[in-house]
Amino acid sequence: MNPVLQTAIPCTFMRGGTSRGPYFLASDLPADRDGIARILLAVMGSPDARQIDGLGGSTTLTSKVAIVSPAAPGSAQQVDYLFAQVSVDKSFVDFGPTCGNMLAGVGPFAIERGLVPAAEGETRVRIRAVNSGALVEAVVQTPGRCVTYAGEARIAGVPGSAAPIVLNFADAVGGATGKLLPTGNPLDIIEGLACTCLDVAMPVVIARAADFGKTALESAKELDADRDFMARIEVVRRAAGRAMGMGEVAGKVMPKFAIIGPPAAGGALAARYFTPLATHEAMAVTGGICIGSACKLPGTVAEGIARVSDAVRETVVIEHPSGVMEAVITTALAPDGSMTIEGGGTLRTARRIMAGEVFVP
């Protein structure tokens, strides 16, 4: 192959949580989003159902990209994290949402690439999620001032164990809409269905599975195969997007959609999360934090379903297709006496798979 016809771009290929993809320094990519999009389509091999000509894994969970840069001088954060969801079969890159799973790899990547100095034992990396504006602290294990990926932490959807990475969302409320409850209500009737529209870490429209004739215990394949069901939730999601002040959301990935039901394995509740046109095979970090927050707020669709206490800080265990996710939700009383969400967090793991250069035409 003639090297003159290709450009080499440094990247690190990592698994972050239950997702994976290339991690780039922003300085190695174009400054404008259109230029970045063109390169990422070539990197991932899109549009093509198999992504045979790139690094993509032919699913939404394996067609993701993290772009990291130093935070602005004087910022309380250390690095900025821009997430890109690269369409598998369309020539489209979505910079709208963020991804809490890929976020798990940002701290280790920033340390490995010299953006953040490693501390002895563990390193706290302060991250701004550019897409949503959320401020996140990632606690990375760094014995001997080096990132370690080996450990005993396990997360559903990933085989084996690894070093724990704790993600604390310090400013999770209203990142996309500016409000905890974008419609002003803990419960709305949208397209004839009871829904809770919530914006904590990610704007999510949450409905009761039973209202669709489901249990929230179905597999991802079962739900995806029910085309009438998938079409129905998209109708509700679009209407909810308008009610949330997000405009026309057709073709966009926010807000996300979730259905919930009683737990089957001792958790707080069962949930199925949509990306939005396919069922997530596990649970998104940001989506899980939002669903966990709904469990703690009075008057939402989760009331009467979720098994939670009145503790100010609680680990809400969410059952999903691959196992469970633990969302740590902190609540507080607002000045008007209403309940509000103060913060959310979770535990993830990550692994560095490959470091080198990716070649693009």
| Contact assessment for residue 289 and residue 329, using Cβ atoms and an 8 Å cutoff | yes
- What pLDDT score does 3 carry? 55
Residue 98 token pair: 């963020």
Cis peptide leading into 276, omega within 30 of 0? Answer: yes
* Residue 219: closest CA among 348, 323, 87: 323
Phi and psi, residue 178, nearest 5°? 85, 0
Residue 262 token pair: 């009683």
- What pLDDT score does 171 carry? 75
| Sign of the alpha-carbon torsion through 72, 74, 75, 78 | positive
Q: Start-end ranges of CATH 3.10.310.10 in the chain? A: 3-172+349-360, 188-345
SS3 for 21? strand
Task: Tell me the C-alpha to C-alpha distance, in Å, between residue 48 and each of 86, 88, 154.
Answer: 11, 6, 33
Tokens 């999770």, residue located? 172
Tally Cβ neighbours within 10 Å of residue 101: 29
- What pLDDT score does 243 carry? 98
d(CA 191, CA 95): 28
| Contact assessment for residue 62 and residue 87, using Cβ atoms and an 8 Å cutoff | no
Q: What is the pTM of this model?
A: 0.77
d(CA 216, CA 176): 26
DSSP-derived pairing of the beta strands 188-190 and 79-86: unpaired
d(CA 88, CA 238): 22
Consecutive sets of 10 residues in the chain, 361 residues long: mean pLDDT of each?
80 97 98 97 98 96 97 93 97 93 97 97 96 90 98 93 92 89 98 97 96 98 98 98 97 94 97 95 93 97 96 94 93 87 92 98 91
Is 3.40.630.10 the CATH classification of the domain at 188-345? no
Residues 6+ apart with CB under 8 A from 148: 141, 142, 163
Tokens 């991804």, residue located? 99
| Contact assessment for residue 322 and residue 273, using Cβ atoms and an 8 Å cutoff | no
Q: Strands (DSSP E) along 245-349, which ranges?
A: 256-261, 269-274, 313-320, 323-333, 339-348
Superfamily of domain 3-172+349-360: Diaminopimelate Epimerase; Chain A, domain 1 (3.10.310.10)
| Contact assessment for residue 7 and residue 342, using Cβ atoms and an 8 Å cutoff | no
d(CA 164, CA 152): 8
- What pLDDT score does 2 carry? 58
Residue 195 token pair: 């829904």
